[in-house]
């Protein structure tokens, strides 16, 4: 049963969105919600049948055949007249159009990157139909209400049906024009998984793993560009530190506290190789971020970090990607590079930015910097404010540890 459950879970993860899209392509009489219900029922049928008879030799074909039969049953149930169909059109392998990608999730991601959808909708339907997360998990990841996600999905389904977004894979030229959007979605999905607010929850690791798999498939595809390799490289460098980010008691550790012997050297070497593959092409924001991550990975100790080059790279990144979040990291790099006053001036100015007015990392940075500056009263002020901003137990525990230092000194 365990093997069957694992296989069904694996297929659900990689094929659910594809199955829904296939049903919609197969019949105009099936609405989006019904297509999802048929897909769910098909996977449930597979679990029951395979538990009794074993996993078939071609499970994907088996699944699509069952799905098609259920779709035909639903059409009949709705009282629609079925015209005579050529026998070959019912073959499972013809139910889904062949893709130029080896990775099915990546193929579907390009459909989600349709320019007729807003950026937020693109991310939500990616999490729903590509990553196959439940609405509750999506709401938690994006800091939205479940009702808000439901309403967004209702509007998205209507737009998907009107524009026939999931009905066919974009042609090669459309894939190229959507490449930058796909990069951004993969970047956001990985970062959401990497956020400390998830603590040690499994879903956090799975999000990062899904983003990594799709980024690798994209880099190896014939439509990739330098940014594709740089983005994959960035993910690899960050993933290499994954196991060192939490201590033995589950406590969150910053770069200075992490045991660097736990960093995955194989992932670091792979990141370096992909960063080299990105060279000689147009420089993107991912090139700068990957280069910064590489410098962190190269430092044997926190004290050995090349903050001078990192601050320079953040300066270049600000010109490419000007936003307050990049500027926050730029200020932190400046501080550790010895430019204390300039860094603090930037951080205090960022307090006035609407996007950062209640941002956990800004207040945490100010609290820690004032602690290092010896101004314990200001350190306590910012750290106490930080506690009221974050709901993450791991982040709250980290801030309390800093508060203890500010109180003792």
Structure tokens at 115: 């320019």
Any domain includes 160? yes
pLDDT at 128: 86
CA gap 46, 55 in Å, rounded:
9
| Bridge partner list, 288 | none
Alpha helix segments (H runs only) across 164-306:
172-177, 179-194, 202-219, 226-240, 265-277, 285-298
Any domain includes 63? yes
pLDDT at 85: 41
pLDDT at 104: 64
Residues 236 and 281 both lie in one domain: yes
Residues 77 and 6 both lie in one domain: yes
Residues 150 and 246 both lie in one domain: no
pLDDT at 96: 45
Q: Are 364 and 386 in contact (CB under 8 A)?
A: yes
**Contacts by residues 378-382 (CB-CB < 8 Å, ≥ 24 positions apart):** 379/406, 380/406, 380/407
Structure tokens at 172: 């090669």
Any domain includes 52? yes
Residues 12 and 103 both lie in one domain: no
What is the number of domains present in the chain?
4
pLDDT at 95: 42
For 252, phi then psi, to 5°, come to: -70, 135
Residues 158 and 269 both lie in one domain: no
Domain boundary among 65, 94, 123: 94
Residues 209 and 253 both lie in one domain: no
Residues 62 and 146 both lie in one domain: no
Q: Are 165 and 144 in contact (CB under 8 A)?
A: no
Q: Are 7 and 20 in contact (CB under 8 A)?
A: no
Q: Each residue's pLDDT tens digit in the chain (409 positions)?
A: 588 898 988 888 777 877 887 787 777 778 878 888 999 999 999 999 999 999 998 888 898 889 889 988 888 887 654 543 433 343 444 344 455 666 667 877 888 888 888 888 988 988 888 887 888 888 877 778 899 999 999 998 888 877 777 656 677 888 889 999 999 999 988 988 887 544 444 446 778 888 999 999 999 998 999 999 999 999 999 999 988 988 888 888 999 999 999 999 999 999 999 999 998 768 999 999 999 999 999 999 999 999 999 999 999 999 988 999 999 999 999 999 999 999 999 999 999 988 787 888 999 999 999 999 999 999 999 999 999 888 788 888 999 999 998 887 5
Residues 48 and 86 both lie in one domain: yes
Structural domain including 229 reads: 225-302
In degrees, to the nearest 5, what angle opens at C-alpha 397 toward C-alphas 261 and 328? 75
Structure tokens at 7: 């296989």
CA gap 213, 218 in Å, rounded:
9
């Amino acid at each position: 049963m365990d093997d069957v459950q694992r296989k069904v879970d694996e297929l659900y993860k990689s094929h659910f969105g594809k199955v829904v899209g296939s049903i919609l392509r197969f019949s105009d009489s099936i609405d989006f919600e019904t297509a999802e219900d048929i897909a769910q029922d098909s996977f449930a049928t597979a679990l029951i049948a395979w538990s009794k008879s074993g996993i078939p030799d071609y499970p994907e074909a088996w699944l699509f055949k069952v799905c098609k039969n259920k779709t035909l049953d639903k059409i009949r149930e709705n009282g629609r007249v079925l015209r005579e169909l050529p026998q070959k059109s019912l073959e499972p392998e013809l139910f889904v159009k062949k893709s130029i990608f080896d990775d099915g999730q990546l193929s579907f991601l390009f459909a989600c990157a349709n320019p007729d959808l807003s950026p937020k909708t693109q991310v939500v339907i990616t999490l729903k139909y590509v990553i196959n997360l439940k609405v509750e998990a999506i709401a938690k990841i994006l800091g939205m209400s479940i009702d808000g996600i439901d309403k967004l999905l209702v509007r998205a389904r209507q737009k998907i049906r009107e524009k026939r977004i999931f009905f066919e894979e974009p042609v090669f030229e459309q894939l190229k024009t959507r490449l930058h959007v796909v990069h951004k979605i993969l970047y956001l999905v990985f970062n959401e998984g990497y956020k400390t607010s998830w603590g040690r929850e499994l879903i956090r690791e799975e999000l990062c793993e899904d983003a990594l798999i799709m980024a690798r498939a994209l880099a190896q595809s014939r439509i990739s560009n330098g940014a594709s390799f740089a983005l994959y490289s960035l993910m690899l460098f960050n993933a290499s530190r994954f196991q060192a980010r939490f201590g033995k008691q589950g406590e969150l550790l910053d770069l200075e506290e992490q045991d660097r012997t736990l960093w995955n050297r194989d992932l670091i070497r792979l990141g370096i190789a992909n960063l080299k593959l990105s060279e000689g092409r147009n420089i993107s924001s991912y090139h700068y971020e990957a280069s910064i991550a590489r410098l962190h990975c190269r430092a044997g100790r926190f004290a050995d970090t090349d903050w001078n080059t990192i601050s320079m790279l953040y300066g270049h990144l600000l010109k490419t990607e000007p936003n307050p979040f990049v500027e926050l990291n730029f200020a932190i790099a400046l501080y550790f590079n010895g430019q204390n006053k300039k860094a603090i001036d930037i951080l205090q100015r960022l307090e006035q930015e609407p996007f950062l007015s209640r941002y956990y990392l800004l207040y945490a940075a100010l609290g820690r910097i004032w602690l290092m500056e010896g101004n314990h009263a200001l350190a306590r002020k910012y750290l106490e404010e930080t506690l009221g901003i974050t709901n993450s137990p791991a982040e709250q525990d980290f801030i309390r540890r800093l508060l203890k230092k500010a109180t003792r000194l």
